[in-house]
Structure 1
Amino acid sequence: MRIALLTYSTRPRGGVVHTLALAEALAALGEDVHVWTLGRHGDTAFFRPVAPAVTVHAVPFEAREEETVGERIVRSIDVLRAAFARRRDHYDIVHAQDCISANAALPCLRTIHHLDHFTTPQLAACHEKAVVEPYARICVSQSVADEVSAGWGLTPTVIPNGVDATRFAAGAADEAGRKAWRERLGSYVLALGGIEPRKGSLDLLEAYAALRASDPRHQDLTLVLGGGETLFDYRDYRAAFDARARELGVPVVVTGVLAEDELPPLVAEARALAMVSTKEGFGLAALEALAAGVPVVARDLPVLREVFGETVAYAATPAEIALALGKVLDTPPDPAAGRDLAAHHTWARAAVAHRAFYERIRAQDASAPIPRTTMTSAPSIASSGHTQRR
């Protein structure tokens, strides 16, 4: 099969990591895989090298300083759509990984990693259209599939994520890399993915400050927030986070985007990883931490209980997060169960499941062609009044 996978960025966000790993695993099965993305910031390639068997198409996307978030979303869709439309007939499968690429690639199938609620009208419309209009849907967890079923009456297929467990286990053995982070950061709790409402960053800050204040053994602990890039405008939230950190008088380090070889030792050297997102689709960063033998404190969400079972500690409020962090720091759990769980989730297994799904879609299309609505007849993102159903 000739497969197009589409994502919205070259930078390391969860959906982008998923796209590249899936592309490489499908290519290893002998499929002809092409990844399409927007080359923001002048990027012509992804944040990490991609296997030579995968063809990368990075569509140039210039920055515009005065552009609003909504305008940038609309333009992102338009630019990617215009470039991809010239080649879409070359592919047997068109598979989008987010609302921007789905809107650009319709008709397509789409992975719904998680559901969100946006106040920016263009983002709300993008989100809604990318749930409703694809002709087939995948979710990476049953919990998100159930949300889609409850909200829209649709039935996605569930195919869990993989994880590069070997890479993060190697990070645990990288003494030089771990030492470099230890000398730079000291003892730290790590969170990945940026400072934004969905990540629960303010809750984590409050929990971290409470932990330091409650126990002198943790007063030298630093909160480290690593990686992450988003198209969305969270400047007010980031300003509130920074102001609260100053009020609390606690040390916070924000690394920004990390080089590919920096991440595994950064994760492995952490004393704990905190994943306190208010919404998640799977929790890939937590699985990477478990692969490195690092204890995890997770928000008590159905999706995270589905994926992680008893391998992580759960908490719902800042006070509970502080308590859970204190417990795993004082008495780290046996990492064996977490490592076993991570080893179970392979990208090879995910690729086999995706290929079988693609083959079913092609067989259905051959016997009863899927309606192919054209982009010109579909409501535009700029004018659509759709909002997410709750």
Structure 2
Amino acid sequence: MRRDPSPNLRIAILAHSTNPRGGVVHALELADALTRLGHEAVVHAPDAKGAGFFRPTRCGTVSVPASPVGTDIAEMVSIRIADYVNYFETPAHRRFDVFHAQDGISGNALAVLKARGRISGFARTVHHVDTFADPALMALQRQAIIAADRHFVVSRLWQDLLFETFEARPTLVGNGVDRQRFSPLPDGRETALAAGLGVGTGPIVLSVGGVEARKNTLRILEAFVALRALHPSAQLVIAGGASVLDHQSYQQLFAAALQTSGLPDGAVVITGPLPQADMPALYRLAHALAFPSVTEGFGLVALEAMACGVPVVVSHILPFTEHIGADEAVWCDPTNSGSIANALAAALDPSLAARLAAQGPVVAARHDWTATARAHLAVYESLAEPLHA
């Protein structure tokens, strides 16, 4: 029996945590957009603190009971997989047409449930593929990809790499920007937020994602030290950093570099995780975004900053070059701190900064969450079909 086109679907979307990381942001925005389209999308995530997700949602959410974990990453991943499996072993928790994993933890959990016959299949979004020193983590990452029945990616870079590495043929869905939330228009939070963080008149260079190797934070610091020769009152604000992975070794290197940098107190502000409601105001406080990542699934932060009218410095690599035009950002070589410093100096030039600030919201407008949600539907319907045959 064939179903009507575009039926109302019940979609379980699984994320690795309730933290404001890129994949979790994507999961919530996707689910909100699906809800606006008339589907019932529910985002799940392990929630050890029971505090819920980092922002209010239109979609449904479920805080999956999470067991205590230590500092060992492989052990934590295995425990979180078991937490998910235990939760979905209850039949009432599986009353969905489609199961969709956004990460390796939830992908492995759905693979176990599929092998046990609890679900008929699942989709997996692969935002990026990591390199782990631990062979067990590499094996789990691979399993979470190859066990999926269908795949999504947010950029052509990962579409090509998944085909080359796993012979998968993922559907490209892209990303979006909530332009009502991320806008150049002040919302009244700016003054209090600046005072609370110790942010002055700047110029302010913003880095989002915490202190991580993938975010290239050490080279950002090196570039900022050089930039201060031109802009002695500049501040570097490093925001975010909530992660289920262990970045302690890299953070220790960064702390040592900062201590020997010669920068005065207050020149570098490390905020840690911030409420999502503060992020648009934080972007608007910045004079430039430093985003010279060495690898990204998409780089949604760059588009959020653009939507707020902030000039963006990005790595001249895929996937950025897929969705940002040659004259829509200031490009840099992420392996060279001098190149990052030069790009930041250019982004702070008043004439170029004015053009990029005006152009940014136009660039962001090309990326719409409703279009992203619609790009999922054909695959969702194919996965739901056996349940309604």
Taking structure 1 as the reference length, the TM-score comes to 0.87
Match of 1:201 among 185, 198, 217: 217
Give the structure 2 partner of residue 281 of structure 1.
297
Give the structure 2 partner of residue 162 of structure 1.
176
Distance 1:130 1:44 in 2: 27
Give the structure 1 partner of residue 251 of structure 2.
238
Give the structure 2 partner of residue 49 of structure 1.
56
Give the structure 1 partner of residue 189 of structure 2.
177
Give the structure 1 partner of residue 275 of structure 2.
259
Distance 2:361 2:128 in 1: 25
Aligned residue identity for 2:372: A
Deviations 1:32-59 (A, max 9, x none): 112111002x1241111122xx322211
The Cα of 1:73 is off from its aligned counterpart by 1.0
Give the structure 2 partner of residue 95 of structure 1.
100
Matched, 1:345 2:370: no
Work out whether residues 12 and 99 of structure 2, in 8 Å CA contact, stay in contact via their aligned partners in 1: yes
Deviations 1:304-326 (A, max 9, x none): 00011221111112110100000
- Alignment coverage as a number of residue pairs: 358
**Secondary structure of the structure 2 residue equivalent to 1:115:** coil
* Alignment CA distance shift 1:32-1:366 (3 Å): closer
**Secondary structure of the structure 2 residue equivalent to 1:63:** coil
Matched, 1:269 2:285: yes
Matched, 1:110 2:124: yes
The Cα of 1:257 is off from its aligned counterpart by 1.3
**Secondary structure of the structure 2 residue equivalent to 1:72:** helix
* Alignment CA distance shift 1:118-1:203 (3 Å): same
Work out whether residues 116 and 279 of structure 1, in 8 Å CA contact, stay in contact via their aligned partners in 2: no
CA RMSD of aligned residues (A): 1.8
Give the structure 2 partner of residue 142 of structure 1.
156
Give the structure 1 partner of residue 5 of structure 2.
none
Work out whether residues 112 and 131 of structure 1, in 8 Å CA contact, stay in contact via their aligned partners in 2: yes
* Alignment CA distance shift 1:119-1:352 (3 Å): same
Work out whether residues 4 and 95 of structure 1, in 8 Å CA contact, stay in contact via their aligned partners in 2: yes
Aligned residue identity for 1:315: C
The Cα of 1:258 is off from its aligned counterpart by 0.9
Work out whether residues 73 and 122 of structure 1, in 8 Å CA contact, stay in contact via their aligned partners in 2: no
Deviations 1:115-160 (A, max 9, x none): 2211133322221112222111000011111111222222111001
Deviations 1:94-119 (A, max 9, x none): 00001111111124210011122111
Distance 2:194 2:62 in 1: 38
Distance 1:36 1:175 in 2: 30
Matched, 1:248 2:255: no
Distance 2:169 2:365 in 1: 28
**Secondary structure of the structure 2 residue equivalent to 1:352:** helix
Match of 2:330 among 286, 304, 313: 313
Match of 1:17 among 5, 17, 25: 25
* Alignment CA distance shift 1:85-1:337 (3 Å): farther
Distance 1:69 1:271 in 2: 36
Deviations 1:240-282 (A, max 9, x none): 0011011112232111111122111101110101111111111
Distance 2:89 2:29 in 1: 24
The Cα of 1:175 is off from its aligned counterpart by 6.1
Work out whether residues 74 and 122 of structure 1, in 8 Å CA contact, stay in contact via their aligned partners in 2: no
Match of 2:45 among 33, 37, 40: 37
* Identical residues among aligned pairs (%): 37
The Cα of 1:86 is off from its aligned counterpart by 2.1
Distance 1:64 1:281 in 2: 27
The Cα of 1:232 is off from its aligned counterpart by 1.2
Aligned residue identity for 2:88: F
Distance 1:292 1:154 in 2: 36
Deviations 1:48-75 (A, max 9, x none): 1122xx322211224344x411111111
The Cα of 1:89 is off from its aligned counterpart by 4.1
Q: Report matched runs for 1:180-191 at 5 Å.
A: 180-183=192-195, 184-186=198-200, 187=202, 188-191=204-207
Give the structure 1 partner of residue 306 of structure 2.
290
Aligned residue identity for 1:219: P
Answer 1 or 2: which has greater helix percent: 1
Shift >4 Å, 4+ stretches: none
Give the structure 2 partner of residue 3 of structure 1.
11
Distance 1:130 1:117 in 2: 14
- Answer with 13-22 or 255-264: which moved more: 255-264
Distance 2:235 2:188 in 1: 20
**Secondary structure of the structure 2 residue equivalent to 1:164:** coil
Distance 1:293 1:63 in 2: 42
- Answer with 73-82 or 116-125: which moved more: 116-125
Distance 1:236 1:158 in 2: 34
Distance 2:89 2:218 in 1: 41
